[in-house]
């Protein structure tokens, strides 16, 4: 079985964050340690420089004998809490004149510190556990003077500081892990409760961590996937019920309408005629609704199926439908603008494509409030556009108008709300998409444009209408 810490996303993230925190803290501690080390060495070197300047002044004022005596006095003093001093005075010939460095330092290490340049450095001393900081200078007459101090105190302080830093890092790491584990447990509990509640919505048992492949986010994802499948099944079942009701109800309604027509033919009673005609109109409206539902179901059932398609001329369909609607558009007080490219063809069903165009033009005539024209354009691609310069469709309604029974919020919104869903279903049946946009966004009359094209086609420019 895979360990829990390897399958828990939150726990893994917490452990990684703790590791990063400890690593960054270790880097900061190391930088502080180096800075303290440099400061300690600088303070020791400052003491050495002060001492060597005093000895040089002694030599310049009182000569070589006084300098040798002063060096002897200083190295004879055994410090209790201060660093141990070391000295070396060499004649121009290299002969040792005074000092306690003789025999305790390697000549090569001493040669690396050049008195002519007032060199300084850190060299090991025999009998001392820590190195010595040393400064050299050239005196008048060619004498070389070396002065240094041990670094025992600063090194021991740094050793103690290292222990303290390591202890602090251990405490920080343990604290970060403990806090991280507590936070991870809290997050995992909340995610588990959320997954359990969503599982209730999906009608499935809550996911068990023992049988889960992945982390707690994967558990939530599995529940969401189940809910999505459940919703898709419910929507499909709803469509099936709607389509079956439409199919089974259409025939009885037609029979009732036929009997109403018989009544109208054999009666002269004005009251009976009035009620029969009203009932007949309502039945015809219901039949229109059911026909639309059946058409949508037929178009969706044929989506992706190429066997029922043949090459048709979309140009001829557009010109034929435009000619049929020219008088209707004129009676509505509008101008019908038509721009159709020649010989635009595609694989499709001529009857369904005609129904698509009829529904778009009917929609424009019914809902183009304040419009002066209705435009129909066809370009190669194909790109089919039906547009007007009316009040337009609010952006919040542009998705809803393609849903079954969905209508816009304008005052002219009426009907069953199935015309545009049928247009969308027919477009998808032919591998096309439909989208709606404003003709002139931000204008006084923004208008509406329904664009049907391939998914990768850009939106064409609006039609230019002569004033």
> The domain 310-453: what is its CATH number?
3.30.565.10
Domain topology for 4-156: Beta-Lactamase (3.30.450)
Nearest to 352 by CA among 302, 277, 278, 279: 302
Cβ(448)–Cβ(368) below 8 Å: yes
Q: Which long-range contacts (CB under 8 A, 24 or more apart) does 269-273 make?
A: none
Q: Can you tell me the mean pLDDT for 212-220?
A: 61
Residues 26, 396: Cα–Cα separation, whole Å: 55
Position 162 scores a pLDDT of: 82
The two most distant CA atoms of the chain are separated, in Å, by 154
**Percent of the chain's residues with pLDDT above 70:** 79
Task: Please check the confidence at residue 211 and state whether its pLDDT lies above 60.
Answer: no
Instruction: Give the start-to-end residue ranges of the domains of the chain.
Output: 4-156, 216-301, 310-453
Q: pLDDT tens digit string along 423-458?
A: 888 888 888 888 888 888 777 778 888 999 988 888
Check residue 7 and give its pLDDT.
57
Output the pLDDT for position 193.
Answer: 77
The structure's pTM equals: 0.44
pLDDT of residue 240: 65
The radius of gyration of the chain from alpha carbons, rounded to an integer in Å, stands at 48
Mean pLDDT of 91-112: 86
Alpha-carbon distances of 452 from 130, 435, 448, 459, rounded to whole Å: 86, 7, 13, 9
Q: Poorest-confidence range of 23-37, 89-103, 271-285?
A: 271-285
Q: How many CB atoms lie within 10 A of CB 14?
A: 22
């Amino acid at each position: 079985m895979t360990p829990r810490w390897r399958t828990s996303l939150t726990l893994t993230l917490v452990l990684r964050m703790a590791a990063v925190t400890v690593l960054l803290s270790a880097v900061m501690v190391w930088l502080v340690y180096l800075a303290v080390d440099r400061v300690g060495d600088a303070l020791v070197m400052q003491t050495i420089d002060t001492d060597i300047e005093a000895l040089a002044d002694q030599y310049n004022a009182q000569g070589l004998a006084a300098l040798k005596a002063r060096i002897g006095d200083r190295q004879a003093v055994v410090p209790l809490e201060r660093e141990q001093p070391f000295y070396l005075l060499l004649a121009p010939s290299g002969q040792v004149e005074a000092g306690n460095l003789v025999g305790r330092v390697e000549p090569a290490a001493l040669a690396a510190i050049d008195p002519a340049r007032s060199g300084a450095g850190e060299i090991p001393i025999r009998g001392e556990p820590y190195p010595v900081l040393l400064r050299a200078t050239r005196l008048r007459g060619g004498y070389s003077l070396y002065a240094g101090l041990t670094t025992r105190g600063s090194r021991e302080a740094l050793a103690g500081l290292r222990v303290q830093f390591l202890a602090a890092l251990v405490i920080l790491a343990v604290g970060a892990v403990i806090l991280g584990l507590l936070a991870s447990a809290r997050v995992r509990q909340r995610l588990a409760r959320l997954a359990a509640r969503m599982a209730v919505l999906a009608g499935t048992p809550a996911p068990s961590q023992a049988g889960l492949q992945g982390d707690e986010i994967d558990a939530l994802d599995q529940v969401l996937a189940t809910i999505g499948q459940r919703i898709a099944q419910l929507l499909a079942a709803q469509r099936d019920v709607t389509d079956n009701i439409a199919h089974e109800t259409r025939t009885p309604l037609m029979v009732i309408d036929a009997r109403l027509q018989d009544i109208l033919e054999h009666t002269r009673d004005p009251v009976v005629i009035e009620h029969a005609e009203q009932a007949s109109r309502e039945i015809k409206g219901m039949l229109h609704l059911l026909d639309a539902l059946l058409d949508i179901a037929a178009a969706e059932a044929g989506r992706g199926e190429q066997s029922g398609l043949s090459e048709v001329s979309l140009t001829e369909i557009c010109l034929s439908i435009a000619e049929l609607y020219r008088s209707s558009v004129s009676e509505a007080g509008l101008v019908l603008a038509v721009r159709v490219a020649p010989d635009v063809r595609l694989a499709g069903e001529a009857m369904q494509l005609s129904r698509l165009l009829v529904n778009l033009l009917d929609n424009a005539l019914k809902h183009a409030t304040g419009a002066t024209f209705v435009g129909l354009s066809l370009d190669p691609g194909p790109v089919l556009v039906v547009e007007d310069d009316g009040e337009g469709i609010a952006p919040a309604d542009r998705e809803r108008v393609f849903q079954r029974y969905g209508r816009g919020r304008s005052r002219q919104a009426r009907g069953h709300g199935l015309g545009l869903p049928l247009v969308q279903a027919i477009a998808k049946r032919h591998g096309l998409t439909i989208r709606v946009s404003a003709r002139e966004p931000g204008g006084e009359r923004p208008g509406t444009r329904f664009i049907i094209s391939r998914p990768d086609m850009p939106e064409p420019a609006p039609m230019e209408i002569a004033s």
